[in-house]
Structure 1
Amino acid sequence: MSFSELFTTFANNLLPIMAVSAAGFLLGKTLHIDSRSIGRVLFYFLSPVLVFNLLVHSKLPGEEIAKTGALALAVMFSSGLLTLAGGLLLKLERPVLVSALITAMFANNGNYGLPLIAFAFGQDALSHSTVYFVFSSLTTNTLGVLISSLGHLDFKQAVLGMFRVPTIYAVLLAGLFNHFGVILPTPVDRTVSLVAGATIPMMILLLGLELQRARWTKHLSALGLSASVRLLGGPLLGLLFTSLFGISGVARQAGIVEASMSAAVANTNLAAEYKLDTSLVAASVLISTLLSPLTLTPLLVLLGK
C-alpha cells in the first residue's frame, strides 16, 4: 500500500465529501441556518425517495437483503457489547456510559456512508449500503430510543415509533413494485430520480451543519472508548461478520465500509431528548468524523484490491 494509493483514494473518495461538508459547516457558522429543518426534510422526504429509487432499480435478491440486514444488526450489537464491557472496566457513570454506547453503536451510515460508497464502489454497492442504512435507521429509532431513555419509554412505544420512520414504507413499496414487476412511468421515474439525486448532496451539507454545533467534553476516556470502537472495532467487526455470513463482492465492500463509519449525527438528537451527556455525544461525533479518513482511506485501498 503506497502513499500514492492512499492519497489518490483519499482525494477521489473522501475529499469531495469533506469539501461539501466543510461548506455546510461554514454556511452554518455564517448564515445561522436551521439544520433541524433541513434534517426533517431529509428524514421525511428526500431519504425515503432515495431508498425507494435505489431499491426499485436494483432488484436485490431477498437473500442478499437479509444478509446485509443481519450484518448491520450484528455490527451494532457487537459494538454495543464492546463499549459496555469497556465502560464497566472504566467505571463510567450511567449517563456517560449510555452516551458512549449510542455513539459506538449507531454510525453515520446515511450522510457519510452512502456518498462514500457511491464514490468508491459505484451504484451496485450503493444499493447494498442503502439496505444497511435502512436497518441502521430503524434500529436507531427503536433500540436507540430504548437505550437513551433509560427506562422512560416502554418497548411497545419504541416499536410503534419504528412505524413513524418513513424509510420503512419506501422499502415496502419498492418491494411490492419489484415483486409484481411494476415499471414506473417515465414522468414518475424521472421525478423520483430527480429528488433522489438531491439527497446525497443535502446529506453531506447537513453533516457539516450539524458538526458546527459540536462542543468539547471532559470525559476523555469515554470519548476514546466510543471513537475506538467505531473507527477500529467497526472495520474488524465488518470483516468478521461478512465472512461468517458469506457476504462477498460489492455487498462485502459496502458492508465493511458502513460498519466502519463515524458516529451518527442523529445521536446528538437522542442525547438532547433523553438528557444524556450532550457534550460527550457531540464530541464523539466530531472526533470520529475528523479522524475517520485515517482509518477509511487504507480500508478503501484494501477493499479495492
Structure 2
Amino acid sequence: MNQLVFVSLLPVVFLIAAGFIAGRAGWIRASAIKDLSNLVFLLLTPALLFRTMSQVRIEQLDFKPVAAYFLAVIILFTGTLLVQGFNRRAAVLALANTFSNTVMIGIALIGLMYGPQGLVTLFTLVSVHSLVLLTSATVVLELAVAHEQKQGASSELGSASRHPVATVLMAVKNALLHPVPLPIIAGLLFAQTGLALPEVIDKPLELLAHAFGPLALVLVGVTLANTPVGRHWRQALALASVKNLLHPLLVFGLCRLLDVRGLPMTVMVVASALPIGANVFLFSQRYKVAEELVTASVVVSTALALLTLTLVLLLVGQAA
C-alpha cells in the first residue's frame, strides 16, 4: 500500500509543481487564471461528470459512506461555532474547516488512484456536497447577519442583505443549476434509459474528460504561485490543520463506527482530507469577513495537502 500511495501521489505533486513553476516563471500570467479556471470548471468538469455517471445505475450508488462524511461535517461545523461564537466570521471559518476541494483536486486524485469505481463513490458525495454545505452555510450566515444587525455590529451589510428565505431559495437554485450537480443528475438520468452514448458524442467527451485531471492540477500550482499568504500564515496553518487532519480523522472514526469499509471508506476519508475549496473565499467576499485569512488558508491548506494526504492515505491503507 505504501508504494501505491507514493506512486499515485507523485504525478499529483509533479503536475502541481509544473503549474507552480509555470506561474513563477510568468509563462502563465495571473490574469489568465480565471480563464483557465472557467475552461476546467465549465467545460472539462461537466464532460467528465456526465460521461462517468452515464454508465452508472442508481442501484449501484451507496449513500451510507456519504452519511458518515456529513455526520463528521455537522460535528466539526457545530464545534467551530461553539468555540468561535455565533457570528459571520465563525460561520465562514466553520465552512473552511469542512468544505473540501472535491472537484479541482479530488476528482483528479481519486481518478488517478482508484479509477472509475472510486470516482462513482466520490461523485455520489459531490452530487450533494455543494448543495448541502453551501445552502447550510448560507442559512447560518444569514442568521448570523441578522443577529449582528440586531446588535448593531454589521451595518456595512445592511444594504446588501436580503430576506433569509429568499437567500436560501436562491442558494438552492444556484446549487442545482451548477456545472457540478447538473451533469451528474443528467448522466444518471441517461444511464437509467439503458442506452449507450453514440461514438461520435462519447469520443469527444472522453478526450475532454482525460484532459481534466492534468489541467486541473497544473492550475492549482499556477494559483499557488500567484497567491500571497502574508501575515495570516499562523492562523491559516491552524485552519489548514483542522481541515486536512482533524476532518479526515473524524470521517475515519465515523466510517468505522457505521461499518463503512473498503473503497467507500477510503474515498470518503481522502475526500475529507482534501484542502479547503475556493467557494469558501467567495462566501468570505460576499459577507465581507476574514477575506485575507480565508485566502491564505486555501493556499496553506493546498500546499500542506501534499504532506497530509500522504499521511491520511497511509492511515486508511493500514486499516483497509
TM over 0.5: yes
Q: CA deviation at 1:144?
A: 4.3
Could you tell which deviates more after superposition, 143-152 or 289-298? 143-152
Matches within 5 A, 1:1-305: 6=2, 8-9=3-4, 11-29=6-24, 30=26, 31-33=28-30, 34-59=32-57, 61=59, 63-64=61-62, 66-88=63-85, 94-146=87-139, 151=145, 152-153=161-162, 154-216=167-229, 218=231, 222-305=235-318
| Count of residue pairs brought into register by the alignment | 295
**Percent same amino acid at aligned positions?**
24
Q: Is the 8 A contact 1:234 1:261 kept in 2?
A: no
Q: CA deviation at 1:244?
A: 4.4
Q: Is the 8 A contact 1:134 1:167 kept in 2?
A: yes
Structure 1 residues 58 and 248: CA distance shift in structure 2, 3 A: farther
Which 5+ residue runs of structure 1 have no aligned equivalent?
A: none
Query: Which structure has the larger Rg?
Result: 2
* Deviation by residue 1:142-193 (Cα, 9 ceiling, x = unmatched): 3345556654352122122223312222122222222121111122111211
| TM-score, normalised via structure 1 length | 0.84
* Deviation by residue 1:108-127 (Cα, 9 ceiling, x = unmatched): 11222222222333321122
Distance (Å, rounded) in 2 between the aligned partners of 1:87 and 1:112 = 29
| TM-score, normalised via structure 2 length | 0.81
Which 5+ residue runs of structure 2 have no aligned equivalent?
A: 146-160
Q: CA deviation at 1:94?
A: 4.3
Considering only aligned residues, what root-mean-square deviation do their CA atoms show, in Å? 2.7
Q: Is the 8 A contact 2:248 2:270 kept in 1?
A: yes
* Deviation by residue 1:51-100 (Cα, 9 ceiling, x = unmatched): 11111224352551x33443443333333123223324xxxx94543342
Amino acid of the residue matched to residue 49 of structure 2? V
Q: 3-state DSSP class of the match of 1:57?
A: coil
Q: CA deviation at 1:197?
A: 1.0
* Deviation by residue 1:222-256 (Cα, 9 ceiling, x = unmatched): 43442232122122222133234443321121111
Amino acid of the residue matched to residue 194 of structure 2? G
